[in-house]
Structure 1
Amino acid sequence: MTAAPRPGVLFDVDGTLLDTNYLQTLAWWRAFRDTGHPEVSMAACHRAIGIASAGLVEHLLGDDVPDGEAITGAKDERYEPLRELVVAFPGVEDLLAACRERDLAVVLATSGEESDLEWMVPAIGGEDVVDGATTSGDVATAKPAPDLLQTAADSHGLDRGRTVAVGDTVWDVRAARDAGMPCIALTCGGISRAELEEAGADEVYDDPADLLAHLDDSLIGRVARG
């Protein structure tokens, strides 16, 4: 007998649970310069964080970039030594545990690669309460397309009508909107409340600790109560 779909929360990782957006920005900026694209600014890199690697390069340089693989390879090289600086935002582990305590499935939905989970999950903490993860490798088109969120919900047996997406960029918000899911956005990734609300976020909080402090009054709390 197939289990009934569960209510749940889909958490983005970079900039939402882990304080990585500016490290990612620095790595991408260096990678573009390494490969002969000094015209790409740090500001442009920051505003593209949240798009999967190949899409990010196309977003900033246009379609049919001949050295796209070289750029993403250079980014990986530049980012690797920065990983030792990665920390979780305050309150992350408690937030994940609080969602589980309310009988919600906790699933990570990241535009990163599957191999990134090897360092992401330990950095996040709360391994005992995370039900699983979906990465860009599980879909043909990653964020801002809705595929990642839809696949994450379906592959983990979640009820799309009672699943909340949590992210930190306009790309996360657009993906959730197109997936037909309510979205909570956090400003800790460096994107303003106004931009996140304009993109369609249903609720905006400062960071995981702020969301935790208001959890029962949030969309997550309402989903948990049914």
Structure 2
Amino acid sequence: MTPAPRPGVLFDVDGTLLDTNYLQVLAWWRAFRDTGHDEVAMADCHRSIGIGSQELVTHLLGDDADDVDEVMAAKSRRYEPLRELVTPFPRVDDLLAACRDRGLAVVLATSGEESDLEWMVPAIGGEDVVDGTTCSADVESAKPAPDLMQTAVEAHGLDASRTVAVGDTVWDVRAARDAGLPCIALTCGGISRAELLEEGADEVYDDPADLLASLDDSLIGKLVRD
């Protein structure tokens, strides 16, 4: 017998659970310069974080860019030595555990690569509380397309009517909206509250600790009450 769909929370990782966005910006900026694209500014990179890697390159260079793979490879090389600087935001592990304790499935939905999950999950202390993961390898189009979130819901047996997405960029909000999911946004990734609300975020908090402090009054708490 197929188990009944579960209520759940889809968490983005970069910039939402891990304080990585500005490290990602530096790696992308260096990668673009390594491949001859000096016109791409750090601000351009920052405002594109949250998009899948291939989509990020074409977003900044145009759909006719002929060196997408080279830029992506350069970014991987540049980011590798920065990984030792990655830290989780305060109380991330407590937030995930609190969601799980309330009977909610905890699923990571990241535009990152499958190999990234090997270090991301331990970094957030999620080995015992994460029910599943979905990454760019599982979909044809990463964020801002809704595919990642739709696939996460289907693959992990979630009830779409009782699932909330949590992210930190306008791309996360857009993907959630197009997937038909409510979205909680966090400003710890460097995007302003006003922009996140304008894009359609249902609630905005400062960071995981702020969301945890208001968890029972948030959309996540509403999942439990309903």
TM-score range, shorter chain: over 0.9
Paired residue for 2:144?
144
Q: Measure the CA separation in 1 of the matches of 2:90 and 2:126.
A: 13
Report how far residue 126 of structure 1 moved: 2.5
Q: Measure the CA separation in 2 of the matches of 1:212 and 1:69.
A: 39
Q: Measure the CA separation in 2 of the matches of 1:119 and 1:219.
A: 29
Structure 2 letter corresponding to 1:191 = I
Paired residue for 1:193?
193
Q: Does 1:166 align with 2:166?
A: yes
- Structure 1: stretches of 5+ with no match in the other structure: none
Q: Measure the CA separation in 2 of the matches of 1:210 and 1:48.
A: 25
Structure 1 residue ranges, 4+ long, deviating more than 6 angstroms after superposition: none
Paired residue for 2:153?
153
Instruction: Calculate the TM-score normalised by the size of structure 2.
Output: 0.99
Write out aligned runs for 1:54-203 (5 A).
Answer: 54-203=54-203
Q: Measure the CA separation in 2 of the matches of 1:127 and 1:224.
A: 23
SS at structure 2 position matched to 1:129:
coil
Paired residue for 1:44?
44
The percentage of counterpart residues that share the same residue type is 80
SS at structure 2 position matched to 1:128:
coil
Structure 2 letter corresponding to 1:141 = S
Q: Deviations over 1:32-79 (max 9, x none)?
A: 000000000000000000000000000001012111100000000000
Q: Measure the CA separation in 1 of the matches of 2:15 and 2:147.
A: 20
SS at structure 2 position matched to 1:165:
strand
- Alignment RMSD, CA only? 0.4
- Structure 2: stretches of 5+ with no match in the other structure: none
Task: Give aligned pairs, total.
Answer: 226
Structure 2 letter corresponding to 1:119 = W
SS at structure 2 position matched to 1:79:
helix
SS at structure 1 position matched to 2:128:
helix
Instruction: Calculate the TM-score normalised by the size of structure 1.
Output: 0.99
Paired residue for 1:205?
205
Q: Measure the CA separation in 2 of the matches of 1:108 and 1:98.
A: 15
More deviation, 181-190/58-67: 58-67
Q: Measure the CA separation in 2 of the matches of 1:175 and 1:197.
A: 14
Q: Deviations over 1:161-219 (max 9, x none)?
A: 00000000000000000000000000000000000000000000000000000000000
